[in-house]
Structure formats: C-alpha cells, structure tokens
Structure 1
Amino acid sequence: MSDISTKKRLMYLSGEDFYLYCYSVLVILDSLGCRDGKFFRDYKKLAFLTDIISDDKTVYVVSHSSGKKLNPKDYECLLDSYSNGLIRRSEILKLLFVLEKRGYVILKRRNIQEIDVTLAKDNLPDDFLNSNVFESESQNIKKLSKKVIRLASLTLDTMLSKIYVENGVRAWG
C-alpha cells in the first residue's frame, strides 16, 4: 500500500483528527529541532501550525506574503486557518497530555498561560519520523519556518502577528 493511500485511510477514520494532529505535532517538533530538551514555546501555537502545514495553499499564501493587502481568496484562506486554530487549541492540549503519558513528549509549564513541549524522540518507534507519509507536512513546516524566523521560540502573539495580522487578519490569542 502506498504512503498516500495510507494517509488517506487515516484521514477518513473515525477520530481522524487526532491521528493527523498527532503526526503533525510530532513532525513540527522534529522539524523545528524541538527535541532532547529544546522546548517549543507555548503549545497553543501548534493548533495553528497543524492547520497551516496540512494545506499547501495556506503555506504558499504565508510564505509568499509581503505584508500588503491579500486578494480575497488568500485572505479567506488565512482567515479559515486562524479560525480552525482557535477551535483546535483544547484538542491539541488533550493530545499532548496523552503523548506525554505515553512518553513521546515532555511538557513544561512556563507560567499559568503557557505550556512548552519537547519531543522525546528516543521513545518513538525506530524510523517513525522517517516515513514518507507526512513528507508534505515536513516540507511545509520547513518552508514556513524560513518565512517566520525562530518559530519555535516566538510567543503566541508574535507568531499570530507575523502569520495573520501582518496579512490583514484580525487575531487575538
């Protein structure tokens, strides 16, 4: 069975979102080097990033934006991404608690509002992140991190500003 058909099967399973969110979170953490004690600041950013990297069009819009007014379709794309991220925050937190319980991530409370996360890569099955199934997401987070420098260490507000506000989408953390 091909990697693409495996991914499509995942996308249509009951509870599909948690499978895809799980892989996306792990890919994001690994691609940004957030492992072995280097923490990704504020898990809430992951809710937005999982949506962005799963859609090539959104990645294209963000990576090619110049801070000028977007055309209506690109604006709508970013607005949808932002809305999806807001909705997804609690699901991502639940997922992170499950991943921590299984030993795949380590969570660290920064303050009352922020929980940071790092990948416990040694606890993942061998070659887990080397699969081609999520190659697109891996490439997309790399493209995004070239546009939004220091993505892993930015505050939520700064990331939202760089991705959404500078492109005309009103955002609140």
Structure 2
Amino acid sequence: MGIIVGDSPDKITFGNETDFAELSISDLITLKYWAFAGTKSPGEVSVPGLNIEVDPNVGSADYATLIYLPGTSTSPSAPDPRLPNAWQQYDASAVGSKWYATGATGILINCTLASPCSFDQLKAALPDAVITLSLGFRMDTAFIGAIDGLQVNNTIYDFGPLGARKTAVEPQPVV
C-alpha cells in the first residue's frame, strides 16, 4: 500500500475495524510488517508506526491508543541500520520494541511517550485490554513509501490494488 504524507499538519491513518474487534491484547503474539521508506539519506528514514485502539480495562479509562514507535525501537524490533529505498521488516512484538499508551492509561501503567515500554511490558500491564476500533498504520510526518505484509499472529495481510488479501501462515513454535 503506497503512502504519501506531506509536511505537517498532514497525516494519514489506515486501519481495519472488523478483523481485529474484540481481540484481546494478551492474544497478540506476532505483530510484524514490511516498510519501504523512499528517501535519499539514511538520516531521513522514518516509517509508519502501528496504532491499536483499545478498551484498556484498567483504572477508569475506557479508551486508549497503543502506539508502536518504529523510530526509537531497536533491533530485532526495528532494522539496524535503517536503509532508504529498501524493504525492511519491523517486528512490533519483538524485543527492542517501544510502545506507549495514550492518556490516563499510559500514566497509570507507566508507559508513556516520555517513558515507552516494550510490547511484553505493555501486554503485562494491560492483561484485559481488547481492541475496540482498529489496528492500523499511522504516519504524521512527511513520508513517501509503502507498507505491506502486516502479520497479526498467524495471518498475513497483503496489500494490493484491489484491497487486502489474507493468507494464513503456519504457527511458529514458542521458544
């Protein structure tokens, strides 16, 4: 799926509100995608992150967005080095991932933009959270590139000109 985002305040969010509704965050094991950042300099490489809109089921908050930060995540969650004009995989569920929760939820679980946590820490802090609206991509800085091959557990979403095609993959053994 090609993405073009102009200079601020331009932004894009693309998500799916049907396949993931009511999926428990604790049931998310694999969360990966491929990104192509069309740019001229490695210093300019930035890619879309993931947003997951949830009912956190913690404290009094009934809504939060969980946000994956590919720009501050480290290997093996994000490639090292990040290369321009190349497809690279981001594993938002891997060690080295950086996430935060918005609003009161982030403060309550000590997982904020100022102090992000790993995917495992996020899941442990929100054991009863469920996806309420969408799981999607977010880009709020200038970007020309593409994303593809979103893997959520054992399903890969391949983006093409006629929409997203779902493909089942064999479960990976838990190590």
Q: How high is the TM-score relative to the length of structure 2? A: 0.25
Higher helix share: 1
Higher strand share: 2
